[in-house]
Amino acid sequence: MSYNLIVLGGGPGGYTSAIRGASLGAKVALIEKAELGGLCLNKGCIPTKTYYHASFLKEKVKKMPKWGITISEECFNLEKVTERKELVISTLKKGIEFLLKGRKVDLYKGEGILLNPGQVKVGDQVLSGENILIATGTYAAFPKALTPNGENILSSDDMLNLKELPTSLLVVGAGVLGLEFASIYRSFGSEVMVLEILPQILPQEDPLIAEEVRKLLTRQGIKFYTGSTLVEMKAKDGKTLVEFLTPSGMERVEVEKVLIATGRKPLVPQGAGEIGLALDQLGTISIKEDLSTNIPGIYAAGDVSYKIQLAHLATHMGLQATENALHKKNKPVDLTIIPRVTYIHPPLALTGLTLKEASEAGIKARTVKVPWTAVGMALIEESRDGFCSFTVEEGSEKIVGVQILGNEAPNLISEGSVIVSEGLTLDKLSEIIHPHPTLGEIYFEAAEAGRGLGLHTLGSGLHYSLNNRGLGLRVP
């Protein structure tokens, strides 16, 4: 069979690209060896956020007496959460199947193997394509000594299928995945500890923001061991004895379950090496600004081709790659403004540049920060923890980054992306009317504070700046 576009991988970067290609009039084949929706739908974003929503509701139950509502926390049932998760996955998967069928995309079940720049083998069939888009995602990477066994040492997949709530949990890895599971299971009622080999949690984030998150989660009862190395794990009387070396010396803890959340690696399709497809030092497929590879007619998008692993980024890249391939364009993809979220309680969301990233980019900037309690809705919802901060370019007063730690941060951050993308200044943002009472008013409060005219904060908030002597703090 011959196609205008062959897409390898049915995840967020793949199935959306197949739909877009068909919408543009192309004959499209989509190859998926496992489940439609990929990691995100089946074992990542969607199931974990279903669990997160359950934990969010459980946190709400704790606060309900303040509104005159009393519900026993004993009603929590982990198996019901798992059932709900499966229903959500099944429903969304059927939706994808319906869309692919409606767009007349040919779906092939099996592993796509690259034979040459214009051919892909799947099962016993060989497909020919004018263009090939690789969106095969990643796979879980475990050090040999930390390989999950599905019993006491678990992967994130295992965590989504537990029948009983563990009394205690040690999470190895304090990246986004590790912190999300730590927060979820702490809310469910488990005793939770987090082990991280690097000196800070959320190692990829700004140290100031990471420290805020650490303080918040510590207050919620999560115990952190940073700068610590796992030495040994062994089963003992139905528990797991874990030994690790901290900056203060050797520690030993006994827990029921251990979650290994140490990251993922790019899943490059078979045949890539044989046809000469170039990879970078991280093992991802090397791409140009237009998402093409070193081989004409082959494009790549998403986790398999970029260091930042996010479903919405994979979709964005895939759609651009599809249009470039089919329209023979070389339009560069904009990867400068990528919103990202860590689903803890309350959630963290960022877009644009942090103060550290601005400094590394040679931009002289400062951070303006206001507390979550600057808006009335925070008290109405009893969601007082958190803040909103802007990274502001000195001189132009343009907002080049937004950071939010607070309830509804994932839904609020999209406005931040628009602000950064459009180059809004503090003055311009302060002129935009936000409805009252809403959490969205935090943008207005931060803009006013940045202008030295804070309304519901004393002074003009906290201002941070980086200079050649390091971090400086001034309180106007």
The structure tokens listed for 190 are: 């488990």
49 is in an annotated binding site: yes
Number of C-beta neighbours around residue 89 at 10 A? 19
Number of C-beta neighbours around residue 91 at 10 A? 9
Q: Which of 17, 191, 5, 35 is nearest to 110 (CA)?
A: 35
- CA gap 90, 329 in Å, rounded: 37
174 is in an annotated binding site: yes
Q: Does the annotation mark 456 as catalytic? A: no
Residue 53: its H or E element: helix 45-63
- Exactly one of 316, 434, 436, 456 is catalytic; name it: 436
Q: Which of 55, 52, 50 is nearest to 85 (CA)?
A: 50
Under 8 Å between Cβ of 443 and 420: no
Q: In which residue are the tokens 């100031």 written?
A: 208
**Residues 5, 308, 21: CA angle, nearest 5 degrees:** 15
112 is in an annotated binding site: yes
80 is in an annotated binding site: no
Look up residue 401 and give its amino acid: G
- CA gap 8, 111 in Å, rounded: 8
179 is in an annotated binding site: yes
176 is in an annotated binding site: yes
217 is in an annotated binding site: no
Q: In which residue are the tokens 């507390």 written?
A: 371
57 is in an annotated binding site: no
- CA gap 37, 381 in Å, rounded: 34
175 is in an annotated binding site: yes
Q: Which residues are annotated binding-site positions for FAD? A: 49, 112, 303
Among all residues, which ones are annotated catalytic? 436
Q: Which residues are annotated as a binding site?
A: 49, 112, 173-180, 196, 263, 303
Binding site listing for NAD(+): 173-180, 196, 263
